[in-house]
Amino acid sequence: MATPKKILRALAGETQKTPPIWMMRQAGRYLPEYRASREKAGDFLSLCYNPELAAEVTLQPIRRYGFDAAILFADILLVPQALGADLWFVTGEGPRLSTITSEADFAKLKPADAIHDTTAPVYETIRLLTRELPEDTALIGFAGAPWTVATYMIAGRGTPDQGPAHALRQANPALFEALLDRITKATILYLSQQIEAGAEVVKIFDSWAGSLQGDDFERYALEPCREITAALKAKYPTVPVIGFPRGAGDKNIGFAKATGVDCVALDYGLDATWAAANVQVDGCVQGNLDPSHMVTGGQPLIDATRAIVQVFSKGPHIFNLGHGITPDANPQNVQLMVDTVRGA
């Protein structure tokens, strides 16, 4: 049997001399070839729903850098759209959605099992990728965590403090929890279909987990992630799950045990030495270089990259940024990071 892919070995708990590497938002606007494909598609959502072009942009960073994993090109907001929310992107600003703030809005949403009518092209993208990816490159599927997805569905856009979602959670907890439950059920079905189509790992992005405090973190970040992971593990026990509770700080401690995920993705706000002692003790971690190094480059990039590899070298580790690469990044700095990790 062929040696398992590097990232699968890390996720199974193996400590490797050179960690596997991929990069959050590795397909994106910092790459000229991405911008060309996006133009061809017309707009961002048309790119997400065009399997040939979505597979092409997924492959672009693999061709350029030979990352150990490819991440499906799609977006966390495809789930709200598949549940019946209106979704559009305003150039230079970001996503906009119709809002869910009342029982009447919620009643208009589709049942969880209706999502595949809209998300079918995403599964087709995955099927194409399973044929086109190099044999040592793993394919990562993903979805947003229910809390993060709910923050967009309630506010109708990205928000600095998730204020509208917190307001609804306080004013109408029953409605808030019904929404979270609908997203959780849809996410289980969505990720299951991604796995059926060929995703070998799935990642749950809780980009706004950091604004949940105390019991609310347990109820609305930990619990939905645990429910999704348990449902997937029951059906696909060998498929690893990566959790990303961005901004959770100390609450990264015990996150893997509490949710059942195989790996915790660390944001760049976390001190690596602290994370090695407190989070990596429970298993694989991913991260956590500050993405601003992809803009600034030079010796500081090399030093910071080496330091992260070194600090996490005593346990299972997947090298990554601590959040997505930004559109102003220089593609040459990405190459410098890859070469540094691989010891060239």
Residues that bind ligand 1CP (CB under 6 A): 24-29, 38, 44, 71, 73, 75-77, 94-95, 142, 158, 205, 207, 324
Question: Of 75, 206, 267, 282, which is the active-site residue?
Answer: 75
Spatial CA neighbour of 206 closest among 178, 165, 168, 156: 165
CA-CA distances (angstroms) from residue 193 to 7, 121, 141, 198?
A: 21, 11, 10, 9
CB of 108 to ligand 1CP, least distance (A): 22
Question: Of 152, 190, 220, 268, which is the active-site residue?
Answer: 152
Contacts of 120 (CB under 8 A, 6+ apart): none
> Which is closer to ligand 1CP, CB of 123 or CB of 142?
142
Assess whether 25 carries a catalytic annotation.
yes
What is the rounded CA–CA span in Å between residue 112 and residue 189?
Answer: 8
Spatial CA neighbour of 268 closest among 66, 61, 23, 76: 23
Spatial CA neighbour of 336 closest among 23, 10, 7, 9: 23
Counting Cα atoms < 13 Å in the Cβ hemisphere of 67 gives 26
> Which is closer to ligand 1CP, CB of 210 or CB of 316?
210
Assess whether 30 carries a catalytic annotation.
no
Question: Of 38, 169, 182, 246, which is the active-site residue?
Answer: 38
> Which is closer to ligand 1CP, CB of 29 or CB of 233?
29
Spatial CA neighbour of 307 closest among 262, 272, 261: 272
CB of 59 to ligand 1CP, least distance (A): 11
CB of 74 to ligand 1CP, least distance (A): 6
> Which is closer to ligand 1CP, CB of 95 or CB of 164?
95
CB of 23 to ligand 1CP, least distance (A): 8
What is the rounded CA–CA span in Å between residue 38 and residue 130?
Answer: 22
> Which is closer to ligand 1CP, CB of 84 or CB of 324?
324
Spatial CA neighbour of 175 closest among 150, 157, 156, 155: 150
Q: Which residue has the tokens 């997924």?
A: 58
CA-CA distances (angstroms) from residue 86 to 80, 119, 138, 146?
A: 8, 14, 33, 18
DSSP 239: S
Spatial CA neighbour of 325 closest among 337, 340, 309, 313: 337
CB of 244 to ligand 1CP, least distance (A): 7
CB of 281 to ligand 1CP, least distance (A): 25
- Are 328 and 288 contacting, i.e. CB atoms less than 8 angstroms apart? no
Report the residue closest to ligand 1CP, judged by CB.
158
Catalytic residues: 25, 29, 38, 75, 152
